[in-house]
Structure 1
Amino acid sequence: MILTVSTAVILLAGLLGGVLGATLGALSALGLAGVVIVGGELVELFVLDGTAVGLLATLGVDGAPVAVGPLSTVGLGPLLGPHVTFVGGVAAAAYAGRKETIDTGFRYHQAKQIRRPLFGRPWTMLVGGVFGVVGVLLGAVGSFLPVDPIAFAVVGSAFLARLTVGYPLLGRFDGGVLDMSPFENGAYWGDDGYETAEGIAGRHVVEPWQPEYYEWWIVALLGVAVGAAGAAVALLSESALLPFGLALVSLFGVVAGVRVEGYPLPVTYHIAFPAGVGALAIGGTLPVGILAGTAMGLTGAILGELSQRALYAHADTHVDPAFTSILLSSLLIAALGLAGVFDAGAVPYL
């Protein structure tokens, strides 16, 4: 990335976006990006004529999913994009959780608490800003790869934050990597033969990302249901970003602790996005698109669960399973595009 005036402005936006992510909390910042994306897509769908471009359209990440409306691109850009605000919020939580208790009601390690706003902690907010810039740079690198550059930046920066604050890269394993039975059995470090280490005594041996939704049959059900819905929305609106944005907006309900029939709202953006892309990239009739989108949604759900078991449940900080899933599913989508199964022109990473 050559340092020009425009580059400096983008890096400054990344700094401010990272601070914003720390201030609001990572999940709320991600929900805000969803509001902007949905608003932009709806404006384009119902108001504009499909030819508007404007200066705002230049603020996105090269290689990122193409936003139909200029306003949507702001939700993927260096000020509000997930690779900036969410990254800043995750890094700030990792830093703050290493130093203090930021939420006494949080059931897992404090460095995983990405719902909590961290306003009023200057050094923590600065860490968020620095990692916002890191997210911009990693997004630029990811634009040269056949993957979603935003997901690449989110996942890469999360590992970097984990190492920077002094935690193990992959966490502590006792038994199988995919084994959730210690959580089901109520096992804590220091009990039942599990040895303790500094800072982990009394914690769950395994900390599932979504405690109510990690069983494989539930994962598959969510994948099929959200995948089919995401595919339908994408086909009707001709936008893969609309179902993705709607799934992001639902994160406000997750942060607020909204429950339906006693269950919290699930995180589903890793299902909705590949479902939308797959539905649009397959071509053919509406039923074919929905079937392809449902298959990609199911794939995204399974990849998300595998990611949480391998990278989140045994670790100390938040490496987002959903964006890890999007990173992997985007690579699969790109491969299908290169193989001719998907329309390569409809795959945003090629």
Structure 2
Amino acid sequence: MVDPVLLQIDVLGGRTGAEFAYWLIAAFAGGAFGAAIGALPAFCFTGFAVIAGEAANLVSVVTEGSAVELGSSGITGLVGFGPVFGPHIAFAGGAAAAAYAAKKEGAMPPQEDGGYHPGKDIAYALGTRPDVLAVGGAFGIFGALCNVLLSNLVATAVAFDTIAFTVFFSALVHRVVFGYSLFGSPGGSGYFDMTPFENGEEVAADGGSEVMRPAVEPWLPHQYKWGNVAMIGLVAGLLGGFLVITTGSMFLGFGISAASLTFLNLGVEKIPVTHHMTLPGSAGAAAFVADPTGTSQLVALVMGGVFGIAGALIGEAGQRVFYAHGDTHVDPPAFGIFVTTLIIGILGVAGVTQRALFVPF
């Protein structure tokens, strides 16, 4: 069995002056590109890049005569989690650009009767409009800077997934910047109540138009019931745990989950979103068992399932509070990954976990 090697990815820290400017300019391009092709398509490419990087890491690709583990310093770190497709850069930039474009005439298709607010359409490619791409680029830079600052904090305090937090926090920032309500107005009996959606209740869309929209807009209409969410969390968490135990890769499960969203983007019905289950599953399996071989494999696998369920349920709670009643995309998986890794980090400080936890700096 391969003992998991938990790697830190540092694509910005430790650089100053011209090098730092170099990375920020690249982050601008990454955020703008995420806006151009759409936030969700950009994240699908995150998944493909991570799979490629982890595969390269497992076979120890030889570059210029030296064995280079690209999983930490090459494809995964520089492409999947770096300026090209880093979720805090490309996805967050694309989501911010969609929020901006929804308020600009001609930048996005008008809201359809019975449809969600256009600011939530992260699957829509925003094309080449300069102001929209500039917004994506600006939030790409913001994501890069935020992640660097958080990485420095995490290095001396409680560890958590700084990229996931940045994706979540960036969405709250773009709501404030572009004049959206931070939490929205809950329908029914509160933020956690999804019955208005189930009953088909609608409200008038913004701007006094006659267009109607759902009173509550769940992030995934096929994935919001607690029991269903917990079950897919168990399944994905177990697989994430299995992958980290057998390959040593913390990110392979995450990459597979992210890449699977290509089918969701193409309109295949009921594709589940699971990267906030596989990554916590991998993290839980590795953090709580120092040497997941022999009989301890079973313990590690069970912990993967436990944290897969935790990531799923926390993500669902996040969607009910931050997404379902608002007008733009605040990412539930990012919230789920942030909170679950923070829990593991706190347990690490308390001495409960058996080994250091990876956090993608």
After TM superposition, the score normalised by the length of structure 2 is 0.86
Of stretches 289-298 and 114-123 in structure 1, the one that deviates more from structure 2 is 114-123
Structure 2 CA distance for partners of 1:199 and 1:139, relative to 1, 3 Å? farther
Asked whether the equivalents of residues 333 and 347 of structure 1 are also in contact (C-alpha less than 8 Å), the reply is: no
Once the 2 structures are TM-superposed, how far is the Cα of residue 251 of structure 1 from its aligned partner? 1.3
Which of residues 262, 271, 278 in structure 1 aligns to 2:284? 278
- Return the alpha-carbon distance in structure 2 between the equivalents of residues 266 and 142 of structure 1: 30
SS of 2:124 mapped into structure 1: coil
Gaps of 5+ in 2: 1-12
Once the 2 structures are TM-superposed, how far is the Cα of residue 47 of structure 1 from its aligned partner? 4.1
- Return the alpha-carbon distance in structure 1 between the equivalents of residues 360 and 82 of structure 2: 16
User: What is the aligned partner in structure 2 of residue 46 from structure 1?
Assistant: 59
Asked whether the equivalents of residues 186 and 325 of structure 2 are also in contact (C-alpha less than 8 Å), the reply is: yes
1:1-350 matches, within 5 Å, as 4-48=17-61, 52-53=67-68, 67-68=71-72, 70-74=74-78, 75-100=80-105, 102-103=108-109, 107-143=115-151, 144-145=153-154, 146-174=159-187, 175-190=189-204, 198=207, 202-259=212-269, 264-283=270-289, 284=292, 285-348=296-359
- Return the alpha-carbon distance in structure 1 between the equivalents of residues 175 and 128 of structure 2: 22
User: What is the aligned partner in structure 2 of residue 62 from structure 1?
Assistant: none
Once the 2 structures are TM-superposed, how far is the Cα of residue 52 of structure 1 from its aligned partner? 4.1
After TM superposition, the score normalised by the length of structure 1 is 0.88
Asked whether the equivalents of residues 250 and 283 of structure 2 are also in contact (C-alpha less than 8 Å), the reply is: yes
- Return the alpha-carbon distance in structure 1 between the equivalents of residues 347 and 238 of structure 2: 19
- Return the alpha-carbon distance in structure 2 between the equivalents of residues 293 and 134 of structure 1: 32
Once the 2 structures are TM-superposed, how far is the Cα of residue 223 of structure 1 from its aligned partner? 0.7
Once the 2 structures are TM-superposed, how far is the Cα of residue 205 of structure 1 from its aligned partner? 0.8
Structure 2 CA distance for partners of 1:3 and 1:69, relative to 1, 3 Å? closer
Of stretches 31-40 and 297-306 in structure 1, the one that deviates more from structure 2 is 31-40
- Return the alpha-carbon distance in structure 2 between the equivalents of residues 119 and 136 of structure 1: 23
User: What is the aligned partner in structure 2 of residue 61 from structure 1?
Assistant: none
The root-mean-square deviation of aligned C-alpha atoms, in Å, is: 2.2
Asked whether the equivalents of residues 142 and 148 of structure 1 are also in contact (C-alpha less than 8 Å), the reply is: no
SS of 2:231 mapped into structure 1: helix
Equivalenced residue count is 330
- Return the alpha-carbon distance in structure 2 between the equivalents of residues 199 and 92 of structure 1: 24
Structure 2: which amino acid aligns with 1:298?
I
Asked whether the equivalents of residues 31 and 140 of structure 2 are also in contact (C-alpha less than 8 Å), the reply is: yes
Once the 2 structures are TM-superposed, how far is the Cα of residue 331 of structure 1 from its aligned partner? 0.5
- Return the alpha-carbon distance in structure 2 between the equivalents of residues 189 and 94 of structure 1: 20
Once the 2 structures are TM-superposed, how far is the Cα of residue 349 of structure 1 from its aligned partner? 7.2
SS of 1:35 mapped into structure 2: helix
Asked whether the equivalents of residues 34 and 94 of structure 2 are also in contact (C-alpha less than 8 Å), the reply is: yes
Asked whether the equivalents of residues 163 and 360 of structure 2 are also in contact (C-alpha less than 8 Å), the reply is: no
Once the 2 structures are TM-superposed, how far is the Cα of residue 229 of structure 1 from its aligned partner? 1.1
